[in-house]
C-alpha cells in the first residue's frame, strides 16, 4: 500500500508503530520494562512517536490504534487499499484547507494591526507617507550624498514589529551591515535612495514593501508591517 507510506517519512511511519506500542504499554506493559534494552526500546518509541504526531492534529485514537494494530499484526485490514487511499486523500485535503484558513486569518490579523499602526503613525506631523504606503520620519538629518540603486552602503539598523517585539538589530551585535541598495527589501531600497549619508530615519514598512504574505523566518509572520530605525553610515 504505497499511499499509506507516501504521506510520511520513514521516521514518522516508525513513530506511528511506536504509538501502538505506547498504547499497549499504558495497559500495563510498563511493569515489564525490566531490562536496559527494553527501557531503551521504550524510550526510542516515545521519542519517535512524539515526533510522528507533530502536525497530525486531532485524530480518533481508537480507530487510529486499530489501524496500527492491524498493520503490525499483519491482520486482514478493515478497509480495502482504494478505501484507505481515498480516506488519506480526504485527510490531506482537509488538513491543507485548515492550514490555509489559519494562515489567512493570521494575515488578516497582522494586516489589521499594521493598518492601525500606520494610521496612528501618520498623525505625527513629522511623518512622510509615500503613495506606496512607505512611511518615514527623519530622526537625524545627514549632510552627505544619497545612494543610488546600485550603490553599496553601510548602515546600522534595528527592526521590530508593531507590537514592539524586536526582530533584528545590528546595534545589538555592535556590527553595521554592508549591502547593495537594490538588493534589500523594497521599503529599504526606496528609503536609502532618499537618505543622505549621516541620516537616521524611522521607517514603517507595509507588508507589500517588506516580506508580504509569506513572512520571514519564525519572527516575521505573514502580512506583518515592520518598523526600522536606520542609520546610513557611508556609501560607495
Domain span at residue 48 reads: 2-78
Same domain, 74 and 133: no
Residue 93 lies in a domain: no
| Residue 142: DSSP 8-state | -
Tell whether 29 is covered by a domain.
yes
Between helix 10-25 and helix 36-53 the angle, nearest 10°, is 120
Q: Tell me if 98 is assigned to some domain.
A: no
The answer on 135 and 226 residing in a single domain is: yes
User: DSSP readout, 21-50?
Assistant: HHHHHTTTGGGG--SHHHHHHHHHHHHHHH
Examine the fold and report which residue of 50, 78, 106 is the final residue of a domain before the chain moves on: 78
Taking alpha carbons only, the member of 56, 24, 233 closest to residue 144 is: 233
Residue 201 domain-assigned (yes or no): yes
What confidence tier does 48 reach under pLDDT thresholds 50, 70, 90? Answer: low
**Judging by DSSP bridges, how do beta strands 127-129 and 177-180 pair with one another?**
unpaired
Average pLDDT, the chain: 84
The CATH number for 167's domain is 3.10.50.40
> With 60 as the cut, is the pLDDT of residue 15 above it?
no
Distance of CA 48 to the CA centre of its chain: 23
Domains identified in the chain, total number:
2
Using one digit for the tens of pLDDT, what is the confidence trace for 93-111?
A: 988 999 999 999 999 999 9
Whether residue 170 is predicted with pLDDT greater than 60 in this model: the reply is yes
Say yes or no to pLDDT of 23 above 70. no
Identify whether residues 54 and 149 lie together within a single domain: no
Q: Is the pLDDT reported for residue 154 higher than 90? A: yes
Q: From CA 227, how far away is CA 116, in angstroms rounded?
A: 13
Residue-wise pLDDT for 64-84, tens only, equals 777 767 776 666 888 888 888
Q: Is residue 130 part of a domain?
A: yes
Q: Which of 11, 46, 78 is the last residue of a domain?
A: 78
Mean pLDDT to the nearest integer, 190-219: 96
pLDDT bin (cut points 50, 70, 90) of residue 125 is very high
Pair (66, 138) in one structural domain:
no
Judge whether 200 lies within some domain. yes
Amino acid at each position: 500500500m504505497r499511499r499509506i507510506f507516501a504521506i510520511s517519512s520513514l521516521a514518522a511511519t516508525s513513530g506511528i508503530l511506536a504509538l501502538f506500542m505506547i498504547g499497549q504499554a499504558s495497559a500495563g506493559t510498563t511493569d515489564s520494562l525490566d531490562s536496559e534494552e527494553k527501557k531503551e526500546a521504550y524510550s526510542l518509541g516515545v521519542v519517535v512517536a512524539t515526533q510522528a504526531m507533530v502536525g497530525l492534529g486531532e485524530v480518533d485514537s481508537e480507530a487510529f490504534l486499530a489501524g496500527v494494530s492491524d498493520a503490525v499484526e499483519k491482520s486482514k485490514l478493515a478497509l480495502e487499499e482504494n478505501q484507505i487511499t481515498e480516506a488519506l486523500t480526504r485527510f490531506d485535503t482537509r488538513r491543507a484547507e485548515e492550514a490555509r484558513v489559519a494562515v489567512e486569518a493570521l494575515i488578516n490579523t497582522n494586516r489589521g494591526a499594521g493598518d492601525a499602526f500606520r494610521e496612528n503613525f501618520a498623525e505625527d506631523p513629522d511623518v512622510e507617507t509615500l503613495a506606496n504606503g512607505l512611511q518615514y520620519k527623519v530622526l537625524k538629518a545627514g549632510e552627505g550624498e544619497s545612494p543610488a540603486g546600485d550603490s553599496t552602503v553601510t548602515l546600522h539598523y534595528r527592526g521590530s514589529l508593531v507590537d514592539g517585539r524586536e526582530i533584528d538589530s545590528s546595534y545589538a551585535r555592535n556590527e553595521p551591515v554592508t549591502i547593495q541598495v537594490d538588493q534589500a527589501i523594497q521599503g529599504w531600497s526606496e528609503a536609502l535612495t532618499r537618505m543622505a549619508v549621516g541620516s537616521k530615519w524611522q521607517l514603517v514598512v507595509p507588508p507589500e514593501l517588506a516580506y508580504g504574505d509569506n513572512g520571514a523566518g519564525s519572527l516575521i509572520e505573514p502580512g506583518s508591517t515592520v518598523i526600522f530605525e536606520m542609520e546610513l553610515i557611508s556609501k560607495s
